[in-house]
Structure 1
Amino acid sequence: MAAFGPRKAQRLARADGSRKGGLDERAAPVVRLLNGQSRFCTTSSCSGRLVLVQGRAVDGDSFEIQKKDCSWLLVTHEPCSGSEVMTALEKATGDVVLKFEPFVLHVLCQELQDAQLLHSVAVNSGFRNSGITVGKGGKIMVAVRSTHCLEVPLSHRGKLMVSEEYIEFLIHVANQKMEENIRRIDRFFKCLELALKNSASTNSSLEKTEKHCPVYLHRRKRKNIQGLHTPPRGPNEELEPEDDVETSLDIFAEIMI
């Protein structure tokens, strides 16, 4: 991507626009590891959270929280108790939804191969809903995310619609998801650290080889050129399947809140 360095510097110089106003402690090591590399730039992150979101229904028969007018009765990035949720629900005057939202990270990448490396590490670490988006002007973005979410309505117009026993059960489920989320973040950080180290080592070895062995570079280029004009094979020879770029990348667009 052209002018990636200046774009990264400009992005990192911006003030944090999140509600919290800073990095989540658990996401910080991953963010700093990526931003310490010249080819990556994080744009947003959340380590995972449990929230009670209050809003108003779209109409009398529909239960859907309006994002524009919603407020948070409770937010925590750690496991919590049913009593904490019950205390927060006492302040409810509208429609309230309990949500568990797992770790999410968006990363701007310099080259497609950088995005592929990050995507591979994310998927292998348990973030199987991750994907790569290539936008206008060659902007390459990786979204690291998973699917173990939770979203349950609890009250309507300030009236609790479920039992306290059920809320205790929901919090137990949410805490299990939180613990699994923490394990995946730790695994992602360790795998990413190793992948970046191996990638740097491979690139360094290749640069040294090409610098001291120009014949090797010449032959490699010659081989690549010949590969573009390979003569037809015999009728009994099978052609090797070509790489399918569309199936190797999970291209998707995402709308953030």
Structure 2
Amino acid sequence: MAAFWRRKAQRLARADGSRKGALDERAAAVVRLLNGRAPFCTTSSCSGRLVLAQGSAAGRFFIQAQDRASPICRDRLIDSLRHQDTSGCGIHKKNCTWLMVTHETCIKDDVMTALEKATGDVVLKFEPFVLHVLCQELQDAQLLHSVAVNSGFRNSGITVGKGGKIMMAVRSTHCLEVPLSHKGKLMVSEEYIDFLIHVANQKMEENIRRIDRFYKRLEVALKPAISTNSSPSEEMESRSRYLHRRKRRTVQEQDPHTSPKDHREELEHEGDTESSLGVFAEMMI
């Protein structure tokens, strides 16, 4: 516990190391909500973005490296490149140039204008919301994981390091990465680019909805923790009840034809509430 508090104090005392120097607006509410709760400390975040990236051999190596990495490590590789934010263009990052980057939906004119600057291989990317959270206890990570998955971030996962460091990654899979030009030459039609922009904007809109849903459900899940009259054991029980309700609702959604009695028997068969919390996307020791 002392190690967690030391890490949290050190993390919150650091200046924002990103190029932007501030949180993404859409991620800010979630980050502040979590950092305001004792068991959590966010370590990195991105609200989601549309990017025109021009890469080189180093960029290709990065893509190969992230494919070989485990899901959480891959997120950290991605985060190391994209956490630094700016609304400008022509940003150079490890032999990769961002010709355009936005956290909002985009229009065709902006994409075509940015493509005029291309001299190499260019891809259009949509990268969804990602958040990494240091958690005090495993049950705290499990609570956060449950809320994330039920909000649409179904690729979320938990890792436990050798020193007991517990990290929770909130992420989803609705990404997009499409090559547009090769050696500065546009390889697709403008009609296809128009179609891609429509698809990317739809993904951005869905990303925004998921962030809003995640924040609202997180508020509900963490509400017991802000009661000054609640003891730690009462807060634990409240969290367990929340996760138990989410589990029951998930079972009902998966098999709507099963009777309530069958649902209860299925949940009881899984053991007590504490054991039913162990839902992981990954566990790395």
Provide the TM-score with structure 1 as the length reference.
Answer: 0.78
1:155 offset after TM fit, Å? 0.6
User: Superposition pairs for residues 33-44 of structure 1, below 5 Å?
Assistant: 33-44=33-44
Amino acid at match of 1:23: L
Contact 2:48/2:128 (<8 A) preserved: yes
Amino acid at match of 1:7: R
SS in 2 for 1:168: helix
Q: Deviations over 1:138-188 (max 9, x none)?
A: 000000000000000011111111111111100000000000000000000
Contact 1:94/1:157 (<8 A) preserved: yes
Q: Deviations over 1:27-49 (max 9, x none)?
A: 00000000011110000000000
Matched, 1:195 2:221: yes
Tell me the residue number matched to 1:89: 115
For structure 1, the residue ranges without an aligned partner over 5 or more in a row are 209-238
Q: Indicate how the Cα distance of structure 1 residues 43 and 32 shifts in structure 2: closer, same or farther if over 3 A, else same.
A: same
Tell me the residue number matched to 1:104: 130
Amino acid at match of 1:56: S
SS in 2 for 1:107: strand
Q: Indicate how the Cα distance of structure 1 residues 49 and 240 shifts in structure 2: closer, same or farther if over 3 A, else same.
A: closer
Cα RMSD for the two superposed structures: 2.5
Distance in 2 separating the partners of 1:66 and 1:144: 21
Provide the TM-score with structure 2 as the length reference.
Answer: 0.71
User: Superposition pairs for residues 110-149 of structure 1, below 5 Å?
Assistant: 110-149=136-175
Distance in 1 separating the partners of 2:180 and 2:170: 29
Tell me the residue number matched to 2:19: 19
Contact 1:54/1:65 (<8 A) preserved: no
Q: Indicate how the Cα distance of structure 1 residues 252 and 17 shifts in structure 2: closer, same or farther if over 3 A, else same.
A: farther
2:60 maps to which of 49, 60, 64: 64
Q: Indicate how the Cα distance of structure 1 residues 3 and 205 shifts in structure 2: closer, same or farther if over 3 A, else same.
A: closer
SS in 1 for 2:147: helix
Q: Which has the larger radius of gyration?
A: 1
Tell me the residue number matched to 2:281: 250
SS in 2 for 1:204: coil
The count of corresponding residues between Structure 1 and Structure 2 is: 219
Q: Indicate how the Cα distance of structure 1 residues 49 and 144 shifts in structure 2: closer, same or farther if over 3 A, else same.
A: same
Q: Which moved more, 1:133-142 or 1:191-200?
A: 191-200
Distance in 2 separating the partners of 1:75 and 1:206: 44
Distance in 1 separating the partners of 2:139 and 2:197: 40
Distance in 2 separating the partners of 1:15 and 1:64: 31
1:2 offset after TM fit, Å? 3.3
1:206 offset after TM fit, Å? 6.5
Tell me the residue number matched to 1:47: 47
Q: More helix per residue: 1 or 2?
A: 2
Distance in 2 separating the partners of 1:250 and 1:82: 37
Q: Deviations over 1:71-130 (max 9, x none)?
A: 100000000001100000000011111100000000000011110110000000000000
1:134 offset after TM fit, Å? 0.4
1:14 offset after TM fit, Å? 1.4
Q: Indicate how the Cα distance of structure 1 residues 104 and 146 shifts in structure 2: closer, same or farther if over 3 A, else same.
A: same
SS in 2 for 1:197: helix
For structure 2, the residue ranges without an aligned partner over 5 or more in a row are 64-93, 235-267
Q: Indicate how the Cα distance of structure 1 residues 57 and 178 shifts in structure 2: closer, same or farther if over 3 A, else same.
A: same
Distance in 2 separating the partners of 1:65 and 1:137: 30
Q: Which moved more, 1:126-135 or 1:192-201?
A: 192-201
Matched, 1:167 2:167: no
Contact 1:125/1:191 (<8 A) preserved: yes
Tell me the residue number matched to 1:9: 9
Distance in 2 separating the partners of 1:11 and 1:205: 27
% same residue: 78
SS in 2 for 1:127: coil
